[in-house]
Amino acid sequence: MKNISRNAFVSRFEENKLYDCTYYHNPNRWNEIPSTLFSSMLKEEHWSRLIKYLDKDNNDISPEINSIPDNKGGVYIFFIVGPTLPFIERYIAYIGRAQSTPYQNIRKRVKEYLRESNKVNGRHKIVELFKHWKDYLYLMYFECEDNERIVQLEGYLIHSILPPFNDDIPYKTILR
């Protein structure tokens, strides 16, 4: 059996272009997060467990989403979780925030993405995320009631990770 190169294999299938996501891994960016400022926020045990976004039929929001707090703000991360090795095969797709206000909370904000993905003129990258990856979308969140810290943490995370479905690096991110 003859081996073929990865590039030849990938380019043989036009379908692969539909699922292309570019990830940037830059250790210099990772090191720019002031860990002392966000020490508790950067520890896994302070984040929720991984939650599947859609129900078992992948048509509606999972009942697990209703366990997300509706009285707190925070930062959330959407992951694409592959079925081959789901304990490792996790790709950060999108990072967002929900401020802690009487009109906004994590649960409400997270639920809005399904509606956004179904809009004819919805945000292009969110529509694409759901079009290609909805069956494999999961999320985790970090609760926080300090709106300034929520904005800062989201900005630093987006800046250091550059998720493929985020369009902008928030303006409040401190770039060195």
The one-digit pLDDT tens for each residue of the chain (176 residues) are: 677 676 766 677 777 778 888 888 888 888 887 777 777 778 899 999 999 999 999 989 999 999 999 999 999 999 999 999 999 999 999 999 999 999 999 999 999 999 999 888 889 999 999 999 999 999 999 999 999 999 999 998 998 899 999 988 775 555 44
Burial of 15 (0-12, 13-18, 19+ CB in 10 A): exposed
For residue 38, give the nearest of 163, 151, 172, 140 by alpha carbon: 151
**Domain membership flag for residue 1:** no
In a domain, residue 68? The reply is yes
Residue 123, domain member (yes or no)? yes
Residue 75 placed within a domain: yes
- What is the phi/psi pair of residue 42, to 5°? -100, 10
Query: How many domains is the chain built from?
Result: 1
> Is 169 within the bounds of a domain?
no
Determine the pLDDT at residue 175: 46
Q: Is residue 170 part of a domain?
A: no
φ/ψ of residue 46, rounded to 5: -95, 0
Question: What pLDDT is attached to residue 109?
Answer: 97
Range of the domain at 107: 23-161
Q: Is residue 84 in a domain?
A: yes
**Would you state the pLDDT for residue 139?**
97
Enumerate the β-bridge partners of residue 92. 79
Residue 86 has phi, psi (to 5 degrees) of -60, -20
Give a yes or no: residue 175 inside a domain.
Answer: no
